[in-house]
Every structure is written in C-alpha cells, then in structure tokens.
Amino acid sequence: MPPPLRLNAVAFISPQNHPILIRTFQKGDELKYHYVAHTSLDVIEERTNGPTKSNECYLGLLYTMDDIAAYGYITPLKVKIVLALPLTDSVVRDSEVVMVCPFLSLSTRPISDMDMRIDLQGPPSGLLSRLIEPLPPTLRYTSRRGERQVEVFQAESRRDK
Amino acid sequence: MNSYPAELLVQLAPVMFVAGLDPAVLPTSTSNTPQSPGQSQSPPPTPTKHDPFQSLIARLRDVLQSQRKAAIWAPERTRSFQMILVDRNVRFPPRKLVSPEDPAYSTAHSPLSPLTPSSPLYPDGLIAPIWIRKHTALLPSVFVLFLRLFEPPPVHTRSPLDTPDPDYEREKAEEERRRDAELSAEVAARKKTTNERGIKLTVVLLASRRMLDDPSLDSRLTFIRRQSGLDSRAALFVLSPVSTSELHDFARSLQDALYEPAVEYYTLHSKRVRRKRNRHSQAVSSYNSPLAPVGAASARPLRPEGWTVRYEYKMACFAEFRGEDEVALKHYQDAYTKLMIMFGSTAILPPRTKRWAEAKVLADAINAKISKLYLYNREHSLALSHHNSHMRRFADFSRGWGIGEETFEYWSWMARQHRVLAELLEQGSQSSLTFPTNTPPSRSMSPAGTSVELDTVRALGLNPSHALQHPGHYYYMAARCTESRRERFLASEGTSQGASAAPGYTNEKKVDHLSLILELYTKSYEVFKKYNSTTSQGRLTLWIAYRIAHTYYESEKFDVAIRFFERIAKTYRREKWNDMLRPLLSTWYSCAQKLGDVELMVTLLVEMIGHAQDHDESKSLQDDLLAVLNSSVPSSAGEPLVVDLKESEPLLDTILVFWTPEVRVGEEAAFQLSLAAPTSIDLSALPVASVTITFSNGYYPVVLRHSPSTDDEAAYQNVRLVKIGKVTSEDEDEEPEEIGADLRWRPGERLVVSGSISSAAPGPLTVVSIGVVLAQSDWVIEIPHEPGVSHGISTLVPRWLTSIHPIRFLQRGRNDCSSVVVRHHPHELAASFSHQAPALLDEEYPIIIDVTNMDERHLDIAVDVLLQPTEVDEASQYIIFDDQRSSGLIKGIRFGMIAPGVSATKTLYLVGSGAPGDRMIDVSIQSTSVQAVTKDDDNAEHPRSSTSSAHAAVDACEKLQTIVIPMSRALSVTYDVAYKRSKNAMPPLADLSTVEDDVWDDSYGGVAIIAARIECSAPCALLIESLKLRRQDNSLAKVLDSSSDEESDGIFLDEYLPGDEFCDVSRISLSPQEEQVLAEEKIPGPGDYEVVWRRVLPGGGRGRQSTTRFALPTLMLPRDGLIALLDVPSTAKLHVPTPVQLTVRNRHPFRSANVTITLDLDPSDAFIVAGLRNGRLPILLPGSEERLSWNLIPVECGHVKVPRIKVMDVRHATPPSQGAGVPNTDVDVEGEVIMVVDVRADWRTTSAQNAGENSVAITQQDGVNENIHPTATGNAAKTVAEHEAKQDLVFYSGWFCPFNQRVWISLEEKGIPYQYKEVNPYKKEKHFLDINPKGLVPAIEYQGKALYESVILCEFLEDAYPDYKPHLLPTDPFERAHARLWIDHTTKAIIPAWHRLLQGQTKEQQDAARQELYVAQGKLAQQVKGPYFAGEEFGLVDVANAPWVAREYILAEHRGYDNAQVGNGWSEYVERLATRESVAKTTSEVDKLQVIYDRYLRDEAQSEAAKAIRAGRVIP
C-alpha cells in the first residue's frame, strides 16, 4: 500500500498564466514552488495545445525536479492547478491525484465569473479568502471502495499572504 | 562520462584482430616475400604504376575500421566486431608470469590476478580497467590474417599462340610451391599462438582476378591449408581487388562467418570463470574462519565476496562480448549485490582506502551498465529505480563514512551520478532512446468501453521518480548538486582555515566549481531547448537560464548575467510572477551596482520600489535611489530617463472614473483620476516633481506640480483632492497653467484629481497616460503610468469621491468606468401606426406609418419592416410596402428628408391567409441627421475621419417598434355534403370502355351535393362583390353544376353584417373505381369558391378588393354492401299503371348474394300490383346488379304508401360458436334484410367547416385555443421528461390545470411510477376520448380502465398503492373524515371564490369574491396544525390546496389579492406549500402559465371550470 498522498504546495494559475494563489504547506522555500508552478506551465501548455492534445482535465505527472513531482490539472475554464508532491520513492496513484484535483478546482469556481478581472493582477482580497477557506489544513476523504481513509493534506495550515 | 574509466562503461563487442594490412609493410609480394635471385625476368614494381593491391589494402583498412565504433550506447545486435589492426607479428600478453615450462606454472596466476604479487590488484583488488583493456585491445576472439598469394608475373613477350615453354612452366610451378610453403609456414606459426589461446585464425589470401580463374588455384589452396593446419571451416578466404561496396559485403560476410567462433571463444572464457567461481564458492564454506585481524591490512587477501564480484563481473563482461544482454545484466546485478555487501562492512572495505575508492568507481560503473541494459530494453522505470536506489544506498553509506550531506564529497559524488545518467541518456537519445511523455491515458484516445481499464491504470499509478525524463533534467540535477558541493566547500573553507580537514580538500581547492556548474547548466539548457515543444514558452529553459545568470553573477561576469536577467525578467513581468521577479531584480541590481551602470541602477530601483513588500523595504530602496541620484549625473543630461513600468508593477495605483458612460456632444463629462500609493509601499521620499495627465487627442495635458502642503492637517489627510476644472481643448490658444499639488505619498495615501472634459465631436474620451516625473539633482526620471493599473484588484473597484470631510466614496457599478463615449443627441421623432384592427384574412390590410420630425435637425428617414414568422399552423402571410413584397424583411424604404416639424406618411399592407391569429411586425425607423452635410462639407468630413469609432461619428438613430395585429376571418364556410347513389347501372364486367382513361363512370360514386354556407364572420361589415365556383375537375370528381353558375350580378346588393350568411349548392359527379371506394380513398374537392369582397370602412368608404378562396371539401364515399334502390315516381294517376323499379346492387367486394324479394300487399294498400310477388333473384356476383319492375295501379287518391317490398339476402348464417361440443347445425334463418332506398330521398350527409380542412372533421368547439403552450415548462418539464417511459399507470394531464396538479403532486409525493401524457383539453384526441368518454383531465388509466376527478384520483392512489409512502390520508377514521371535510371545504368554498375573483370583470364582483376567498381561506387556516394541515405530515388537504396556492401570484398581481389579509398564519402556510419539492417540481414557468390565465382574467376561458363559474354553478 502506498503511503498517503502528501502535498507540498498547490498553485492556482489563471488562464492568462498569471499566478492566482500559490499555497505551500511547508515552511520556508515558498519561492521554490513559484518556480515549480511557473515552469509547469510549459508542460501544461504542451499537453493541452501540443500535437498530442487531450481534452482531459487531469494532465498527470508533469515533471520531477529536485525533490518535487509536479502534477497538473486544468479546469474547463482553463484555470490551471499545479500540485507539488514530495518526490519519495513510492507509487503515486493517478486516481488519488485525480480525486484531489476536482476538489481543488471546486474551490476555484468563484473565480470563473471573475475571469476578466483576474487578467489584471490577482484576485481581490475577498475572493482570496473565499479561495482559502475551502482548503482545510487536513482533509480526509474515503476512497471509492470505502476501504480506508486517505489523508490528502497532512500539512500544517499556514495562510498565504 | 569522463569521470569514469571508459573501459568500465563502453559497450563491449567481440574483438577481431586484423593483421597484414599494414601500409608500411606494403606493397605486394616484393616486400612481402624475399626476392629470389633467379627471378630476373620478374619486373620490379614500378612505383609510378598504380598497384591494385595497395589500394585494396587501403580500402580494406577503411572498411574494416568503419564496421563498428566503440561507443557506450550500442543497443543493436548486428554481429559486428570491434576491429583492431595489428602488426602481423603481434604477440599476445602472457597468460601467466612464468613461462609454461616452469614447474610453478600450474600454481601461478595471471599477471592481473590479485594473487600475483606484481599485479596492481595485489592483494585485495577487485577488477581493474586494465583487465577489460586486455580483452578489448590485447586479446582478440578472432584473428584474421591477410596475405598476398604469390603470383608469377604474366609473360607478356610471348604470343598466346606459342606453345608454353616447358622450362618456364616448371620453373614457375617450383617457385609457386616454394612460395606457398613459405606462406604456410608463416600461417602455421601464427596458428600455433592462436591455438594456445583458443583464438580462431582465418587467413585471407589476396590474389588477382586472373588468379581466381587459374586452374591451379584449388590445388594450391589445398596445399596451403594442409601445410598450415588451418581449420576446414571459415579459415581460408581469397580476395581479389574489388570496389569498396563489395568490400563492405566482404566485411559483412567475414563477420557473419566468424561471429560464431567468436561467441564460442567468449563462452569458453565464461565457462572457465564459472568453473573457478563454483570451485571458489564451494571452498568458501571450508574456510569460514573469517578475516585476518583488521590491523594486518597490508597483506590481507581478497575476501570471498570480492572473488565473487570478480567472477560475476568477468562473466558479465564475457556475456556482453557475446551480445547476450540478459545474461550480462544478471551477472552485473549479482556483482553489484555482492559489492553492496562489501560496502556494508567497514571491515571488508575500510573507507577512504585505495581499494574502497576503486570499488566505488566499480559500483558506479556497474550501476551505469545495469541502467543502460534496462534502457536498451525500454524498461525505463527499472533503470531509474536501480539508479535511484544506487544513489540512495550510497547516500546512506556516505553518512556512515562521514561524508554525508554536509560535505562537498557527497555532493560531488551525487553530481557525478546525475551526470553519468544524463550523459548516458544523451548518448541514447542520439540513437534509439525516446522519452515517454507521461501523459495520463486519455478517455478520448482509448476506444469506448475501456473506462474501467482506464480506472485500473490510474489506480496502479506511477512512481514519479521512475518516470524517465530527458537528459536535461539530470544535467540540471547534476548542476544543482554541484552548487551544493560548492556551498559545502566554501563552508568548510570558512571553518577550517588552511587545515586540511578532509582528505580531498587540496584537490577540491583546485576545482573550478563555477565553470563546472556553468557547464552543466549550459548542457541542461541546450537539452531543454532541444526538447522544448514549439507550443510552450520555454519557461523551464528560463528557469535554467536564471540559474545560469546566477552562476555568472557568482563568477563575477556581471555583464553576461545582466543580459540573461533582462530576457528572463520580460517573461516574469508579463506573466506577473512578482515573487520570482523580486529576487531576480535584486541580483540584477547588484550586477548593475558592480558594473557602475547608473541608469540601469536607477531603472531597477524604481521598478523594485513598485515591487516592495513593506514600508521598510520601500524606504530603504528610496534611500538607495536618492543616494544614487545625488552621487551621480545622468549620461545624457537634459534628456529625461524614461522608466517604463508597463509590464511591471506600477509605482502608483491609478484609477480613472468617469461619472457617466456616455455624454452628449458639448456636455461636460465629469471624471476623477485617483493616484494612490499601495498600503504596503511608502513613497514619501520619492522626489516627485510633477505629474502630467495626457488625454486623448486634442487636449492640452494637465500638469500637476509638487507644492508641499503648508496645511499640516491637510497634509495628513489620507485622501487629497485636487480640482483641475475643465480640461482645455487644443483649439484654445492659451495653454493651461500648471496646478500645484502635494505629490508625496505615504502608504495608502490617495490623490484624487477631479475635473471635467467636453467634446464637440462624438467619439471616446479617456486619459492616455499619466507621467510621473521625478527630479533630483541633475536627474529627471519619467515614469509613465497607464490609467487603471494597480497592485491588487481590490483597489481597482471604480469609486467616486463624494465628500472629503468625512471621506466618502461612492461605488460606481459599471464595469468600465475608465472612458466616456461622446455621442450625438438622439433624434426627436414621433412615429404613429394607424390601422383598423382586426385585420381580415386575405385582405390587403393597410397600416399607415406616420413619421413626424420633432427635432431641430433635418432628418433622413428610412424604414425597415420585418414580418415575424407566425407560430400559427397553416398560416401564410406577406407584406407589401412601397411596391416591394416579402414574407420577411423589407429594407430601406425611404421616407426621404424630413424638415423639422414636418411629417411623412406611407402605407404598409399586410396580407395574411390560412388561419387567423396574431401577426407581428417589427418596424425600425432609422434617422440620419443631414445637418452636417448640408452646412459645410469640410467641417463635416473632419470629425468623421479623426474619430476612431465611426458609428459614434455618424449622427444616426434607430427607433424600434413592434406592432401586433390580430387577424380574424372575414368569411367562414360550412359545407354540408350529401351523397346520392347513381341510377346508372354498373358497366358489365367485360366492358372494355372501363379501362379507357377518360371514361366517366359514376355508377359507384354517384353524385355529391355540397351545400356551402358562407358566413360573414368579420367584426365589420363586408361588401360581397361576387361568388364564383372555380372548377378544378379531377379524375375522380367533377362539378356538374352550381347555383352560382347563374349570372350573379346584383345578387349581393347590400352590406353583409357579421353573422349574415349566404349559400351555394353544387353537384359533383364522382367517378371512383371500386378499389378506391374500398380503400376509403379521399377525393379532393374539385374546385373552390372564390369570394371577392371589400371591407366597409367605418367612414362608409370601401376597402381594397380582396379575394377569399374556399376549397371544396374533400369527399369520401360511404361504402355500400348489398343495396336495393327503389325508383318510384313522385306522382301517379288514379287507375293509371305506374312503373316501379327496384335495382338490387351487390357492392360487396367479394361475396355473391342470394337475394329473395317479397312484395307484401296489404289489403289496406292503395295499389294493385302487377308483377312479382315473391321470388328469388339470380345469384348476384360482386359488382353486378339486377333490376325488377312492377306496375302499380293506384286505387286511392292522396298521399299513399308504396307497398312494402322486402329484400332478403339469404345466407346460411352460422350461429356464433359457443364452444366445442355444440353441434354445428345450420340454422336456416331468414337472412339479412337489405335496406331498400328510395332514390328520391337518397341523402347521406356529412358537414365540414371552413376551407382547407377535412370534410370528415368534426366541428370544432368554440373558443379555439391554438395558442396555448403545448407542454409543461420549467421544473415541470423536467418531471415530465422523467416520466415518459411506459408504465401501468398512465396519468393524463394538462400541464397548466390546477386540478391536474393535485394528482400530480400526489404521484410525486408518493413516488408512484407513472407515465405522463399531456392532453390538450381544448383539442382532445380520439385516443383519449376512447378511454375516457367524458374527456376530462386529470384522468388516470389503470389496468386499461379510466378514472377521473382530482380528489377521487388522489384517494384512489392512496388506496391502490398502499405500500407507497407517505400516506396522504390519516389512518384514524375520525382524522380521515376530518381531512375529507376540509378537502370538501376547499373544493366548495375556497376554489370557487378563487376563480370568481380571477374571472370577475367588475370591481364589485372582484371585491365580493376577494372577501369571500379571505373568509374561506381563513377558516381553513384556523384548522392548520402546522407546519402542514395535519401536523408534521404533508397530507391530502395540503395537496388539495397547493396548486391554487402556487398560482396566488396571479391574483396578487391582477386582482389585488394579499394573502397576509387572510390571517391565522395563512401566509406562512402558503409559503411552506409553495416551496414543497413536489409542488415546485410540478409547476411550470410563470410566463407560460400567465398566457393561460390571461384568458381567465379576461373571462374568455372555455374550460368547464370557467364556464361553471360564469354560470354560477359548482365547478365540476
């Protein structure tokens, strides 16, 4: 049985490739995840626009770099989500990541009608807090077969600026 | 790769030694073989002459050497050799140190063995690269020797005709023999050495093409082979000089032939090693006393594990030589595993010794080989998994050895591992290796039905660290590790000054880390660039470029770094990754500082201030900026330095707000421009000298100049207001003055510039740019800002400063407040449409459009008219406007130029036909001002060309209006059709004329008499001008005559008022064939009535002539069976015989008839009869007839009866079978009585109404509801959609009917499965009437039986489905009766009052009904226990009321009903009912319902309930 899915950081990126929110669950090194998120855009663009274009929301493993494995997800409204998982020597099930992604994308739904405004700088502060609220520090969900509980976020809660 | 000995990494292949191709030893026999003294006649080779063998040898060298290049990545198995050119006399390295003759030979070991004291491996080494070199360079598996076969020179002098000189021949043969023997001896010598080693020897003899044909060749070759002891197979070749391509074939075949011996050679080696290993491992158990004491390291022999590693490694190598990758992989793995065991113990391999270092190198190399072999096989994850675990293991070991993460050794080693992998992959990618994309399997890509598989694939998952990526990633990792290495090295340098802390320290000191890092990053960058897909922006490469720039910075190459930073910052700025931009800027700034580029420093500092995170940062940045400005001078004095922050964060947040989105020409548009410092940035030290606000073209910019506020209080205001008044247009000569303002911003401070702007020309107006100018000492820095930029969106909300004391803002709700559009004043136009509603069908109905110009401008008017497509069935329509005719759009009807105060009129004609109903016309009146054109052409053109948006410039307006025109029938027609049977006899069976085309045979059809009653149904008087039956005879029917055929002039004299009728009768002869009658074929009416009429206008005038056509109804003959027609004259004279004829026709399709006729003469009859009294007719075949005649002699006067004639069809009727056993007795009944028809009164009638419809159609009910929406909508539509499937229970419903909804709610509430069928109660279908003759909805079809009546149905559902919960009626008998009591109250009191209120047309009626309703509802409300009538449970009383409650809004809207007036908590009860799910699910959209209730509100509804209410009866 693979260890529970751990998440180092989540990044939400607007359809215009501007960062919306980059939330790290580990102290220090926030900047690193900015770079991870930004560089992931390359692979996301390749997967969504490239010759092997796919219409799936889930984009799978984007790349691994340093001690991070970056996974991508794109909502129908082209908000991109990059998940930074720690690179441990263990299997990451796509199904688990897939399960987390729509959940995360739910929390971006309020953004969709604000698409035009996001073009400018970033979400307004009110929106930002709404965005953060749906992400509890530790979230448990029951896997499809209901056999076990999987911890999705085990990280310390720290609110981003 | 350079970090490891090449021998350990290179792909091994069998080795072939090639001798005898030495160019120095060449050429040819002269040097090859010693010159014989007697060979005077053989000419010495002339150097000028080109020797074919020399070039052959040169080519051979090239070809053989090109066969295979030594490479690390060579996955192909092509049976190719590693060719090595050697000297002919090459010697193989000795097997053992001692000579074979020495007695110690058997105990001696190989010079490379750890057991040999002189070996570099003595006493405990594992494997040295030299061992591999021995097998790749010094020892072949195959030895190929090229030799020149002796050929005597050709004798040119002799003629071919001469007999051969026997002497010479003999001499030649001897010479040959001697030379061949020499050659054989040489080969034999070589054979001896190769045999010792088990090496295959092959000799290739070079001979001329001529020699190949020489008959003596065979014997010579046999001789040589025998003499030299060569093998029989693949040991002797003869090659003559050939072309290069043929040489390639030769090389190929040579390799193919020798590959097997080569493999054999290496197999033998493997076997030998395996034997040794086995012997050794058996021996291990015997000497299990481990280790000599650790201290005696000097002479410690190699441990058993070491031997195993050695043997396994050797076997792996030999397997690799043989090309057996799988075997090699296994042996390498075994060797690796053993090696790990050795590393695990410091006793076996003491760290930091020479052997330890060697073993490490060996382990790394084996790891690389294992990974490579996996990759050959495309087992990417296995390869990576091995590589990763190798690194992890050694990381663990390193910690134990004291060279953990904190040491540079550790990172140096890690970097090397990454690099080896990267280099391996790079080599691989140049040939066969491809990299997976890791894209998750897509649903769309896989065929349907595999989603389950997909899920399993997803469930399996992937270890991300086993996902193979392109080498760039690994180069990058290597670079990162090297960076760490440098860091540790610098750290250790800091801690241990000079002291040689680590053993590798002195070496490490010599390493140029930075250039190493740079090299790795550059490699990575190149690979990334190569693999970068065209679609992506290269952000990954940017990131690496950033690292490269950083490295350049570290290596103090600032100018290079700056170039990188410039490029990277572009993308980061554009995509707003400010967090990443910030560190970049500060490094960039440091570079600029180091280079002393002042202008760059200033530019960067300004940008960094915009990015500052907090007050302190922004303050210190400003201090830096001021220091730079004060201490330097700009390179180009006078020119301001422009710092464009367009892509980057602005200094000031700017918002431009116009009060209104639009203004008229000449009006002032008020605006406020707000310049604010973000709350996190303190800009108070920034030396802002002025702010220039530039507007769209044509205005002087507004300049605000800094003037420090003297008023302290004002200075500390958070918001400062500067009024600039009206912005001056450039048309005015005078430039506006500069305005003083406090241009210092503390965090969050806001400067609001308020003013107004007006324009004489239409077009958009906005602020183009805001220039913030800093001035300090000699520096002038201009920072342009755009209006509407901000650090965060929240501050971008457009707000209007309404008051400064206290500060109050008003939010402007528009999306875009940052510009204003100037438009022309709208045109003042009055348009009226006059017409005499309703329009009549078929009439050119005039609509007079009158347009009046109320404006002060001259207007050019054009009108577009669109006739909306009608929703009425069978309706057609068109419009006529200004000679244009269209069923849709007529465009651009010009009314021409209209001067102010003048009006213009045009008439539009609407013609509708088919069906009545509302028609809709959209009229668009477009006006264009022609003022500008008439006044002055130059002036008019100027603003048009200068403004960007053309539509705003053209002074045009559009006015839209929709007219709804009700259309009704002018005339309606009712047809009464009677059919008369023909008196003509049927043609005989064989009559040929019946098959002719134009025969008219009405014997079947007879005559149809159509009485058309045309009623004037127009709401106004009509003048009928003419009525004509236009004949359109067809093959089945033709008009015989019509009453309108006569001259009709002057018939229609007067005006016809509504309800007046006139009639016309026509006779139509029908000529259908027998089969057409049987098929019940319809006969189209053979013509139509054409009525020409005019409308009588209210003033007494006449409207346009209109023509209405009514087609004759479709005719359908009734079928006849056996029929008797009696032809009696109407009058007879007393005592005069009168003939009477009876015709019996058999019209049955297939049965012949046996007919008896009886004429019963009663004594009272007034006739005496001459003729048949009783008799039988001959059998009548189908389609035949028989005629009988009598003579009647009347004996009485007056109206008398014809004697009774009885016609019987005698048939042996079989009584209805009543089951088995009953004897089938023929009952001779009298037979069937056949109807006797008096042909004088032969009328079979139907009636039809209105043209175009079937004559058989039943008369329509009054109040036709064509316009109601046919199906449910909104939530109810969803519920309907869920219940379309066939079920036992069918629910017939009308979606809008509240009574229906009661049943529907019950069904939904209880969850009973049912099928929903929509019935239009105003157009009931036959099928519905069949099962439910009363035709009422709601109805339920349950087991083929129908039920109706809403409350009964609800109770029925309760009883018929006892298992479906909840129960809507209580179980307690008293409670149940109580509920029924209140249902009754609802039905008898509440609903009638409700409907009376709805339908009431006078105020008195409404007031009374409303009051009544309040009282009735109040009574019920008192009984409500809450939340529902019977308490917690939703019950039938609630069901009974819910539909009306859900429709209360209609009363509330139109009848002043207010449920709060009911009291007793009614309004809360109502709220609960209306929001109940089952109620909401069955309620349709409000607007569709509204259409229905509009009828009720006008009291025009025709439902049973509505009629009852109108009549004051109880609702049925």
Per mean pLDDT, which range of B284-288, B318-322, B545-549 is the poorest?
B284-288
Dihedral sign for Cα B168, B173, B177, B180, please.
Answer: positive
- The most distant pair of C-alpha atoms in chain B lies apart, rounded to whole Å, by 176
Do the Cβ atoms of B753 and B786 come closer than 8 Å?
A: no
Distance between CA atoms of B1032 and B1030, rounded to whole angstroms?
7
Residue B170 has pLDDT above 70, yes or no: yes
How far apart CA B325 and CA B319 sit, in angstroms, is 7
Please indicate, yes or no, if residue A88 is contained in any of the structural domains. Answer: yes
The confidence band for B1078, taking pLDDT boundaries of 50, 70 and 90, is: low
CB contact set of B1352 (below 8 Å; sequence gap of 6+): none
**Which residues on adjacent β-strands are paired with residue B918?**
B966
Query: Residue A89: its chain B contacts at CB < 8 A?
Result: 385, 388-389, 392, 463, 465
In terms of average pLDDT, the best of B541-545, B747-751, B1118-1122 is B541-545
Dmax of chain A from CA atoms?
46
Q: Which residues contact B909 (CB under 8 A, 6 or more apart)?
A: B844, B845, B846, B847, B879, B880, B881
Q: Does B455 touch chain A (CB under 8 A)?
A: yes
Answer whether residue A83 is part of any domain: yes
Nearest CB to A38 within list B460, B480, B580: B580
Strands A19-24 and B859-867: unpaired
Residue B795 has pLDDT above 70, yes or no: no
Q: Do B392 and A89 touch (CB under 8 A)?
A: yes
Share of chain B above pLDDT 70, in %: 83
Choose the closest CB to B792 out of A30, A95, A125.
A125
Residues of B in contact with A23 (CB under 8 A): none
Buried b vs exposed e over B606-623: b needs ≥16 C-beta within 10 Å? Answer: bbbbbbbeeeebbbebbe
B191-B194-B195 Cα angle (round to 5)? 80
Cβ contact (<8 Å) for B579 and A125? no
Round the average pLDDT of chain B to a whole number and report it: 79
pLDDT of residue B521 exceeding 50 = yes
Q: How far is A58 from chain B (nearest CA, A)?
A: 7
B390 in contact with A, Cβ within 8 Å: no
Residue B1297 annotated to the active site: yes
> Is the pLDDT at B496 greater than 80, yes or no?
no
Overall average pLDDT of the B355-366 stretch: 88
- CA–CA min distance B382, chain A (Å): 13
Sheet strands (E) in B157-316: 200-206, 236-239
Which residue in the set B385, B467, B793 is minimally distant from A121, CB to CB?
Answer: B793
Say what the alpha-carbon torsion angle B707, B710, B714, B719 is, to the nearest 10 degrees. 10
- Is this prediction's pTM over 0.90? no
Range name among B395-409, B934-948, B1309-1323 with the lowest pLDDT average: B934-948
CA distances from B646 to B542, B672, B694, B787 (A): 21, 22, 16, 11
Average pLDDT over residues B838-846: 85
Mutate which: B382, B392, B533, B815, vs A, most A CBs within 10 A: B533
Span of A1-5, B609-613, B692-696 with lowest mean pLDDT: A1-5
Enter the tokens of residue A128. Answer: 């930002």
> Among candidates B713, B711, B691, B710, which has minimal Cα distance to B702?
B691
Please say if the pLDDT value at position B1513 is more than 70. no
Single-letter amino acid, residue B994: T
Mapped onto helix, strand or coil, the DSSP state of residue B1412 is helix
- B463–A92 CB contact, under 8 Å: yes
CB atoms within 10 A of CB B181: 14
Which range has highest mean pLDDT (B920-934, B1188-1202, B1379-1393)?
B1379-1393
* pLDDT the model gives residue B58: 85
pLDDT in tens, B565-574: 988 888 888 8
A130 CB neighbours in chain B (<8 A) are: none
Q: Which residues in chain B are contacts of A19 at CB distance < 8 A?
A: 575-577, 579
Among B449-458, B673-682, B688-697, the minimum mean pLDDT is found in: B449-458
Residues 1257-1296 of B with CB under 8 A from A: none
Residue A106 contacts B, CB cutoff 8 Å: no
Start-end of H helices in B377-450: 380-400, 408-430
Question: How close, in Å, is residue A45 to chain B by CA atoms?
Answer: 6
Which residues, 6+ apart, have CB-to-CB distance to A119 below 8 Å?
A14, A16, A18
B193 interfacial to chain A (CB closer than 8 Å)? no
- Going by pLDDT thresholds of 50, 70 and 90, the confidence category of residue B645 is confident
Distance, C-alpha A143 to centroid of its chain: 19
- Report pLDDT for B458: 55
Alpha-carbon distance of B26 to B23, in angstroms, equals 5
Residue A98 with chain B: CB contacts under 8 Å: 458
Mean pLDDT of all residues in B423-447: 71
Q: How many domains does chain A have?
A: 1
Q: Is the pLDDT of residue B749 over 50?
A: yes
Q: Which pLDDT tens digit goes with each residue over B1274-1295?
A: 777 888 888 887 888 888 887 7
Residue in chain B lying closest to A127 (CA): B794
Structural contact between residues B237 and B254, judged by C-beta atoms closer than 8 angstroms? yes
Q: Which residues of B324-337 are buried (b: 16+ CB within 10 A; e: fewer)?
A: bbebbbbbbbbbbe
Check whether B510 has a pLDDT greater than 70. Answer: yes
Q: What is the pLDDT of residue B1489?
A: 73
Residue B463 and residue A93: Cβ atoms within 8 Å?
no
Question: Quick check: B867 pLDDT over 50?
Answer: yes
**Residue B473 with chain A: CB contacts under 8 Å:** 63-65
Amino acid at site B416: R
Which of the residues B817, B1016, B1297, B1354 is marked catalytic? Answer: B1297
Question: Is A142 among the domain residues?
Answer: no
Please give the residue that has the higher pLDDT: either A161 or B995: B995
A83-142 pLDDT, tens digit each: 888 887 777 777 777 777 666 655 544 443 333 333 333 333 333 333 433 333 333 333
Would the pLDDT of B1079 be above 80?
no
C-alpha span between B971 and B1110 (Å, rounded): 9
Q: How far does A128 lie from chain B, in Å, by closest CA?
A: 10
What one-character DSSP code corresponds to residue B652?
A: S
Range of the domain at A49: 9-113
Residue A130 in contact with partner chain B when CB distance is under 8 A:
no
Judge whether B586 is closer than 8 Å to chain A, CB to CB: no
Smallest Cα distance from A21 to chain B, Å: 11
**Position A160 in a domain:** no
Nearest residue on chain B to A17, judged by CA atoms? B575
Is A98 inside a domain boundary?
A: yes
pLDDT of B793 over the 60 cut: no
Q: Which residue of A has its CA nearest to B576?
A: A18
Question: Which one of B736-740, B888-892, B1240-1244 scores highest in mean pLDDT?
Answer: B888-892
**What pLDDT does B947 receive?**
39
Write the pLDDT tens digit of every residue in B1390-1431.
888 888 888 887 888 888 888 888 888 888 888 888 788 888
Tell me which chain B residues have a C-beta less than 8 angstroms from the C-beta of A124. 792-794, 797
Mean pLDDT, range B176-191, rounded to an integer: 87
- Residue B705 binned pLDDT confidence (cut-offs 50, 70, 90): confident
Please write the tens of the pLDDT for every residue from B1312-1346.
888 888 877 666 666 777 777 777 778 888 877 78
Q: What does DSSP assign to residue B85? A: E
CB atoms under 10 Å from CB of B630, counted, come to 11
| Alpha carbon of residue B440 to chain centroid | 18
pLDDT at B548: 92
CB contact under 8 A, A120 and B437: no
* B1274 Cβ contact list (under 8 Å, min separation 6): B1483, B1484, B1485, B1488
pLDDT of B994: 67
Secondary structure letter of residue B1240 according to DSSP: G
ipTM at complex level: 0.73
Q: What does the pLDDT read at residue B48?
A: 45
Dist CA B388 CA B1353 (whole Å): 76
Q: Which of A96, A121, A125 sits opposite B790 (nearest CB)?
A: A121
* Predicted local distance difference test score (pLDDT) of residue B1266: 42
Asked if residue A150 has pLDDT above 80, the reply is no
Flag the least confident range among B172-181, B1192-1201, B1503-1512.
B1503-1512
Q: Which residues of A touch B442 (CB under 8 A)?
A: 54-56
B397-406, B635-644, B1040-1049: which range is least confident on average? B1040-1049
Residue B872 above 60 pLDDT?
yes
Domain containing residue A75: CATH number: 3.30.450.70
Confidence label for B452 from pLDDT (cuts 50, 70 and 90): low
pLDDT at B32 over 50: no
Closest CB to B444: pick one of A43, A54, A59. Answer: A54
C-beta atoms of A124 and B445 within 8 A: no
d(CA B368, CA B423): 10
Per-residue pLDDT, B158:
52
Q: Determine, yes or no, domain membership for A62.
A: yes
**Tens-place pLDDT, residues B211-264:** 888 888 888 888 888 888 888 777 888 888 888 888 888 888 888 888 888 999
* Cβ proximity of B1008 and B978 under 8 Å: yes
Measure the CA–CA gap between B301 and B124, rounded to whole angstroms. Answer: 5
Residue where the block lists tokens 């009709």 = B1048
Segment B1466-1496, tens digit of pLDDT: 888 888 888 888 888 888 777 777 767 777 7
Tokens of A161: 């600026």
Q: What pLDDT is recorded for position B898?
A: 86
A115 interfacial to chain B (CB closer than 8 Å): no
The amino acid at residue B517 is I
Examine residue A68 and state whether it is found in any structural domain, yes or no.
yes
Contact between B551 and A68 under an 8 Å Cβ cutoff? The reply is no
Chains A & B: contacts with CB separation below 8 Å: 151
Residues B703-727: b if buried by 16+ CB within 10 A, e if exposed: bbbbeebeeeeeeebebbbbebeeb
| Cβ-defined contact of B465 to A22 (cutoff 8 Å) | no
Q: Is residue B579 over pLDDT 70?
A: yes
Q: Is A30 on the interface with B (CB under 8 A)?
A: yes
Chain A nearest-CA residue for B583: A31
- Burial status of residue B1151 (CB atoms within 10 A of its CB: 0-12, 13-18, 19 or more): middle
The pLDDT of residue B1137: 86
Domain membership flag for residue A3? no
Q: Does the beta carbon of B435 lie under 8 angstroms from any beta carbon of chain A?
A: no
**Cα-flanking dihedrals φ and ψ of residue B1401, to 5°?**
-105, -20
